[in-house]
Amino acid sequence: MICRKKDFEEAYLAECVWAISENAYPYGSPWTKMQFLTDIQQPHTDYLLLVEDNQICGFVGYSKVMDEVEITNIAVAVSEQGKGYARHLLHLLIAEQIKDSLHVFLEVRLSNEAARKLYESEKFRILGKRKSYYRNPTEDAIIMSRKLKTETIK
């Protein structure tokens, strides 16, 4: 089942997505619980949450400003990885946003080959690099973008 941030109490949701993120990445979560909570409280952000057996087992967090969408976080619980859930969440987000957004973009850790392959297979292209973007350990981020629709000029 897919839920949204409005379906959960904010502090509980922040705790859940932080725990998933903390365990899903080799270096732990790139965000603290407080950063997740602050993000959840923003009016221009939303989360698509994959819920199985009353447990959040995956999520994609994003913000939308005007006609651009930024994926801020995407993670799947370790026990649920390899089942295509990250791709499913990405598909849901794109299908939802394709109507009125021009681009979706994200940053991904240079060493996160699995995520980079997923994004490339979903038509994301590399735009550039952010030097020393990630901490613990310090590492560059790759900026990726996917065009959702072509702007028409009348």
Active site residues: 107, 119
Cα separation of 22 and 12, whole Å?
A: 15
Cα separation of 21 and 16, whole Å?
A: 9
Residues forming a β-bridge with 108:
142
DSSP secondary structure of 96-153: HHTTT-SEEEEEEETT-HHHHHHHHHTT-EEEEEEEEEETTTTEEEEEEEEE-S----
